[in-house]
């Protein structure tokens, strides 16, 4: 489907040569971004962990570390490994549904490298997205298919995450541990997320609704960019983004059975991702249930997303610390 007003992907050689940097410039730019991302991430985490150490109390923290059982620290590592494996299996399933083949070990390596790039270079996941497309392309997957595979997995991952976030926010509302104003704000977020999930499902299974919503989103994006003066800079990217959404949703709707296993692996991926935090708490002797960890993680993710901090560096850690402390878990 082609949306009205959306700029196509076709470009002349002259346009390509005039806008695209040379290979040397691209590598140099990537190295600068990696260094800058590493510095920002490192400084941010040092500040955050220093704050957490101070609030926990240095002596209490040392005593807690002294009581650790080193063998139990293997549990978070196992959960991390399982998270990467299930994520790579979801990519493999989507790749197969797209008519492409990539070996399991190669897909695991692509997943590990792309996710590491997301953590090191805080660009909202774009760095890992680009690396994943490049590495899939080197394995014989066409650029168009690589974009489709990566974007479809991103859509399914975020939709599944919404379910966990909804669970955490609903739990907070019914636990009545918050003041009325905060509960009202959270209830509003719950309604918005629920409507968003319903809209996504409608867009998947109803082409007419999908087309109308995407055309409307395209019009809103054009108006916002035009009024803010960023049309020349971000107009093409916004149009391309909406085209990728349409391609991903259309692909999902055309292969519903093929998407069942990738969705299952993505769900397990989030279970193991939250399990990393749960295993870490268990390894230090904290008596906290998995449900409490799900709530803390869900709320922490929301704060990380709305913080406008690149990559949410440090925000998730502080939010998790606050949520778990409010649930009776000692800060140290």
Domain total for the chain? 1
pTM: 0.68
Beta-carbon-side half-sphere exposure of residue 80 (alpha carbons within 13 Å) = 10
Q: Tell me the pLDDT tens digit for each residue of 233-268.
A: 778 878 887 887 777 777 777 777 888 899 999 999
> Which pLDDT does position 7 carry in this prediction?
41
Q: Which residue has the higher pLDDT, 305 or 89?
A: 89
Contacts of 278 (CB under 8 A, 6+ apart): 79, 288, 290, 293
Cβ neighbours of 332 (radius 10 Å): 18
CA 317 to chain centre: 16
Token pair 């992907």: residue:
9
Q: Tell me the pLDDT tens digit for each residue of 196-225.
A: 777 777 777 788 888 888 888 888 988 888
The answer to whether residue 231 sits within a structural domain is yes
Contacts of 294 (CB under 8 A, 6+ apart): 164, 167, 168, 274
The answer to whether residue 5 sits within a structural domain is no
Mean pLDDT of the chain: 74
Distance (Å, whole) CA 248 – CA 199: 15
CB 159, CB 200: distance < 8 Å = yes
Q: Choose from 20-34, 74-88, 284-298 the range with maximum mean pLDDT.
A: 74-88
The answer to whether residue 138 sits within a structural domain is yes
Tell me which H or E stretch contains 197: helix 180-205
The answer to whether residue 1 sits within a structural domain is no
Reading the block at residue 111, the tokens are 């997943």
The answer to whether residue 10 sits within a structural domain is no
The answer to whether residue 82 sits within a structural domain is yes
Segment 26-51 shows an average pLDDT of 66
> Which pLDDT does position 89 carry in this prediction?
93
The answer to whether residue 15 sits within a structural domain is no
Segment 285-296 shows an average pLDDT of 76
Beta-carbon-side half-sphere exposure of residue 258 (alpha carbons within 13 Å) = 17
The answer to whether residue 235 sits within a structural domain is yes
What share of the chain in percent tops pLDDT 70? 66
- Computed on alpha carbons and rounded to an integer, the radius of gyration of the chain in Å comes to 22
Note down the domain range covering 263. Answer: 23-326
């Amino acid at each position: 489907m082609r949306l009205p007003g959306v700029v196509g992907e076709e470009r002349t050689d002259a346009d390509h040569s005039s806008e695209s940097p040379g290979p040397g410039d691209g590598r140099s730019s990537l190295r600068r971004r990696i260094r800058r991302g590493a510095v920002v991430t490192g400084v941010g985490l040092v500040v955050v962990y220093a704050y957490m150490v101070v609030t926990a109390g240095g002596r209490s923290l040392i005593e807690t570390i002294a009581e650790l059982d080193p063998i139990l620290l293997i549990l978070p590592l196992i959960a991390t490994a399982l998270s990467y494996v299930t994520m790579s299996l979801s990519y493999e399933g989507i790749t197969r549904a797209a008519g492409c083949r990539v070996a399991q070990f190669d897909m695991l390596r692509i997943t590990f490298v792309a996710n590491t790039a997301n953590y090191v270079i805080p660009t909202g996941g774009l760095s890992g997205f680009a690396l994943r497309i490049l590495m899939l392309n080197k394995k014989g997957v066409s650029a168009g298919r690589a974009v489709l595979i990566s974007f479809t997995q991103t859509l399914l991952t975020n939709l599944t995450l919404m379910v966990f976030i909804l669970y955490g926010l609903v739990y907070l509302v019914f636990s009545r541990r918050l003041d009325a104003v905060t509960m009202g704000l959270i209830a509003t977020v719950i309604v918005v997320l629920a409507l968003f999930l319903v809209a996504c499902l409608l867009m998947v299974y109803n082409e007419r609704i999908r087309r109308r919503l995407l055309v409307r989103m395209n019009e809103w994006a054009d108006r916002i960019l035009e009024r803010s003066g960023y049309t020349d800079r971000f107009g093409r990217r916004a149009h391309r983004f909406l085209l990728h959404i349409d391609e991903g949703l259309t692909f999902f709707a055309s292969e519903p059975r093929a998407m069942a296993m990738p969705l299952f692996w993505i769900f397990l991926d989030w279970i193991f991702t939250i399990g990393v935090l749960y295993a870490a708490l268990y390894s230090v002797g904290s008596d906290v249930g998995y449900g409490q960890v799900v709530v803390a993680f869900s709320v922490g993710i929301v704060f990380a997303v709305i913080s406008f901090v690149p990559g949410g560096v440090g925000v998730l850690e502080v939010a998790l610390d606050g949520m778990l402390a409010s649930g009776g878990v000692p800060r140290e």
